[in-house]
Amino acid sequence: MTPMVDVAFLLLTFFMLTTVFRKPQTLELNLPPKDVDVKIAESNLMTLRVDENMNIYWNMGIEVPRKIKFEDLRKFLIEKAKENPKLVVLIKIDRKSKYHAMIDIIDELNLANLTRFSLAPMTEIDKKEMARAS
């Protein structure tokens, strides 16, 4: 009985010491204080609107939104970041869309080295703008 207990504890300590724990994959978001208004020039603001069918519309400032495919988004964001290093992206996602749509958009921003972005709720005005673009 004693050798079996020794082997069991030996295997237990072996697996405990050789196991590699995976680091949790999380996204760190820094939220500004509630009472602070941030002023951004329209020329530095890009708005990305995503509807429930993962159709993406973008515009700079107050331009008419234009549609872009998700596959072309990373290349497009890299080009825009090179043109304007002060670029800030405002992401507006429809409440009916899937959660992974927001995560995919944020991943594309991170891959394009755009770390300055903001999330905002989509309003009826945004839906009208997207309908105007279609």
Q: Where are the domains of the chain?
A: 53-134
Tell whether the torsion through CA atoms of 52, 56, 60 and 62 is positive or negative: negative
Q: Which residue has the tokens 């998700």?
A: 70
Compute the distance between CA of residue 86 and CA of residue 59 in angstroms, rounded to an integer: 16
Q: For residue range 58-87, what is the model confidence (pLDDT) as tens digits?
A: 988 888 889 999 999 999 999 999 998 888
Residue 107 CA: distances (Å) to CA of 29, 70, 73, 111:
13, 12, 11, 6
Q: For residue range 102-116, what is the model confidence (pLDDT) as tens digits?
A: 899 999 999 998 888
Length of the chain: 134
Q: For residue 129, what pLDDT is reported?
A: 85
Q: For residue 134, what pLDDT is reported?
A: 64
Is the pTM higher than 0.85? Answer: no
